[in-house]
Amino acid sequence: MTRRSVGEYLDTLDDAAWGAASEVVPKFISPSDPAAQWTGAHKGYAYFAYADNYLIDLKAAIIVDVEATRVSRPAEVGAAKTMLDRTEARFGLKPRRLSADKAYGSAEMLAWMVEEKNIAPHVPVWDKSERADGTFSRSDFIFDAGSNTYTRPGGKTLQQYRRPFITPRTGVTKDNMRLYRARQSDCEACALKARCCPGQPRRKVPRSVHETAREVARGFVGTPEYLQSRRERKKVEMLFAHLKRILRLNRLRLRGPSGAKDEFLLAAIAQNLRKLAKLVEPQPACITPIGA
């Protein structure tokens, strides 16, 4: 391991796109490039790699920013924030809508887009609350913002639970969730207990502190604008396919985060020049055939 690679690795530990992106300890660390991430994302043999993140203009498919990160969802989400802020600061460009896959549909990311940036999130919501065992899911409970309660299918309400002496003021867990619990006496007398909480004395329903932003994102699903964003998002996938198949960027020649950034940036420049050459290419003159 060279002194340069170790020093560069230590310098990136506090960066949101690198070591600070996740608390998970890497399973393996490369002795020659410790900032690279051990990954098996393509369901094949695992290997050390970096993630290439693009921010593009959907109308012209021009890459407006590029960021290299570790291969992890928190790092890639952090890169999206970095690119949006940097594009706005450098070029004065601020998108009205953002199209991305479900990896960017976390509650924190949606809240950042809706509440801080005022960007319409055309992103699937990251939601694991739906149950597949036949019991009631969180969507079966109706939330009343006025009384701050949930109403379950049986008609009884669930109140927000505040654990004494631990979170007495906010009632928010370390996962940024508020817990709503039913009374145990109500659950014991309920005829729907077998479909609600068969293995627990009473039902508990978690609700994210960013649920308002999640509802905004859900409201866009199925709209014509959302469907258009889904179709246009294929332009991003085409750029990555061109990067691998035509430019043959399957391996990096430079080592370390700075090397990955340089190679990804040069590849994005090449793709933009190719796209610009097609946009400014003069159109052939229209020739009218004789006898028409």
- 217's CB contacts (< 8 A; 6+ apart) are 105, 110, 114, 121, 123, 124, 125
What pLDDT is stored for residue 170 in this prediction? Answer: 63
Average pLDDT taken over every residue of the chain: 84
Banded pLDDT at 54 (limits 50, 70, 90): very high
| pTM listed for this prediction | 0.81
Instruction: Please state, in angstroms and as integers, the Cα–Cα distance from residue 22 to each residue in 18, 124, 193, 260, following that order.
Output: 8, 22, 38, 20
Banded pLDDT at 25 (limits 50, 70, 90): confident
Of 35, 12, 18, nearest to 256 by C-alpha is: 35
What pLDDT is stored for residue 227 in this prediction? Answer: 93
Model confidence over 231-256: pLDDT tens digits?
998 888 899 999 989 888 888 888 88
Model confidence over 101-113: pLDDT tens digits?
888 999 999 999 9
Q: Vertex 119, ends 16 and 95: CA angle to 5°?
A: 90
